[in-house]
Amino acid sequence: MKRTTSRSGASPAAGLWLRPGRLGEVLAVATLLASALLPSAAAATDAPPPASSPRHDYEDALRKSLLYFEAQRSGRLPHGQRVTWRDHSGLTDGLEQGVDLVGGYYDAGDHVKFGLPMAFTVTMLSWSLLEYGADVADAGELAHALESIKWGTDYFIKAHTRPDELWAEVGDGDTDHYCWQRPEDMTTSRQAYKVDRDRPGSDVAGETAAAMAAASMVFREHNPHYASLLLHHALQLFEFADKYRGKYDSSIAEVKSYYASVSGYHDELLWAALWLHRATGRAEYLDYVVDNADDFGGTGWAITEFSWDVKYAGVQILAARLLLSGEHSPRHRETLEQYRAKAEHYVCACLGRNAADGNVERSPGGMLYVRQWNNMQYVTSAAFLLSAYSGYLSSSSSSSSVTCAAGGGSSAAASAGEVFALARAQVDYVLGSNPRGMSYLVGYGARFPARVHHRAASIVPYKHSKEFIGCAQGFDDWFVRKGANPNVVVGAIVGGPDRRDRFRDHRENYMQTEACTYNTAPMVGMFAMLNRLARDEAGVNR
């Protein structure tokens, strides 16, 4: 992650950034603070997607994206389960600890339930509906979208067993990654791990508070009682996260090699406070975001990625929304302007309009490129942020463009339309408008990855063969097969191609062929909104 800074002090990550270890491996993914201020060797390339981009069926993509969350379900599956190659799993989760932790989502192709990325997934699903819920409803997918959120929030309610106690992980990554089994056959550890007063986890508690607050707004119209329950948990979780401060990976050592909170917890505290302000309208939460803006890095760090770990760009864009919409008091304005400046650094970095050391690289085919491990998570999250921000600009009476610092004292403006065009181009790249002509949304289009790094998808369905498949047997009999997976994990967005648009569809190539819930979550609203625009455009062109 490239950073520029206008403040002194330590980086939010003074060491290497880590990403989830797959099969026991951990990837170091960013540089130290010292190198963040050096000219980038990977400056943005203004390479457009292929000129002959096909028209995409966004409604089909939307339907398929929501199927993916059913494939990732843990627990007792409902009667309406549409992904029929999955069955019940993890039915004793939490039993050893005397708590019911059945349910929730597996994060990727493994069977650990990691609380931090799961909560971020639910936050992004909820934000998708808050921005584009009417479009989801118009496409007939609102009920499925609500189910995808509720499957996560029902689990968080269970996991939040006391006001100052949150169960943050079920399963152990090390033992899980030694095995290649269907979730229905799991023999690996289902040890559960929690954060509490003595073992704090402000990052995971803060993100879960954000998820609950955002989801409470989604359910306010459809299920008011449930919305109130979610907000109650969100308020308690934020108070816990703020009062007992600490990184959850210092309290739960088992998560360090998989979802280490290298950015710290300050971004999650700001993020949660903004969502609580939006959910409650209480000034105290905006005061918190303004009063802690400098100390927590919200107005200091200019960030060029947005992810399950690094929330600063999302924080800054949410804060800029309040400025652009006038939802603030005069005392907040100056600080919100600073937040907006950092939000626009992120937008300009994606556009390639910043100085040379502050841009996101582009592949020759136009894909935003952050790093080799699961790069698509940054593509989909960027597409969503860019689209949301373009909407805030378009709706604002005070400003309709972004000002980018091009270096050498010069600046350049980018319109809301330009920002949105880049967002749409990233979505289209995912769907197949790329040099390979391949869709990275599994199950969509004529060509998509067939050997997704996913245990359940790569083994014969449980309903077809209930014969137990052992830990090593899965590797010997299924992982090594050269053919396509027997089950198509429809709606999954895989890690995707490298910086040169190259992609190897091999099951062992987990950096590129593993999918994660937080890759797809931002796309739910995007597909719905683009479906509406495509229909509008078709109507105009008739």
Q: What is the pLDDT of residue 463?
A: 83
pLDDT of residue 542 exceeding 70: no
Whole-number Cα distances in Å, 107 to 104, 115, 258, 343? 9, 9, 11, 28
**Distance (Å) of CA 433 to CA 49, 201, 429, 437:** 7, 41, 4, 6
- The CATH architecture to which 58-538 belongs is Alpha/alpha barrel (1.50)
What confidence score (pLDDT) does residue 462 get? 85
Phi, psi values for residue 115, rounded to 5°: -65, -40
What are 8-55's pLDDT values in tens digits?
233 333 222 233 343 332 333 333 222 232 223 233 333 344 434 568
**Range 136-145 average pLDDT:** 98
Domain boundaries, the chain: 58-538
CA nearest to 148, candidates 72, 237, 226: 72
Question: Strand, helix or coil at 95?
Answer: helix
307: left (phi over 0), alpha (psi -120 to 50) or beta: beta
3-state secondary structure 252-307: CHHHHHHHCCCCCCHHHHHHHHHHHHHHHCCHHHHHHHHHCCCCCCCCCEEECCCC
Task: Return the structure tokens found at 430.
Answer: 């995912």
Q: Is the pLDDT of residue 265 over 90?
A: yes
Residue 540: pLDDT over 70 = no
Q: What is the mean pLDDT of residues 366-373?
A: 96
Catalytic residue positions?
A: 453
- The pair of three-digit structure tokens given for residue 275, joined into one six-digit string: 């969502």
Decide: 308 and 378 in contact? Cβ < 8 Å: no
Supply the mean pLDDT for the chain: 89
pLDDT band at 408 (very low <50, low <70, confident <90, very high): low
Q: For residue 287, what pLDDT is reported?
A: 98
In the block, tokens 């796309």 appear at: 523
Q: Tens digits of per-residue pLDDT, 269-306?
A: 999 999 999 999 999 999 999 999 999 999 998 999 99
Q: What is the pLDDT of residues 159-202, one digit of tens each?
A: 999 999 999 999 999 999 999 999 999 999 999 999 999 999 99
Q: What angle do CA 81, 87, 88 make, to 5 degrees?
A: 100
Taking the model in full, what pTM does it have?
0.91
pLDDT value of position 537: 87
pLDDT at 2: 32
Question: Alpha carbon of 170 to those of 159, 162, 189, 326: distances in Å?
Answer: 10, 17, 9, 42
* Sequence-distant (≥ 6) Cβ neighbours of residue 8 within 8 angstroms: none
Q: What's the one-letter identity of residue 494?
A: V
302 strand-pairing partners: 4
What's the rounded Cα separation, in Å, for the pair 244 and 252? 15
Please state, in angstroms and rounded to a whole number, the distance separating the CA atoms of residues 542 and 540: 6
Q: What is the pLDDT of residues 451-496, one digit of tens each?
A: 999 999 999 998 888 899 999 999 999 999 999 999 999 999 999 9
Q: Report the pLDDT averaged over residues 391-405.
A: 88
Residue with tokens 């880590």: 18
Structure tokens at 503: 């992609």
**C-alpha span between 524 and 147 (Å, rounded):** 13
Distances in whole angstroms, Cα of residue 25 to Cα of each of 174, 242, 256: 9, 33, 12
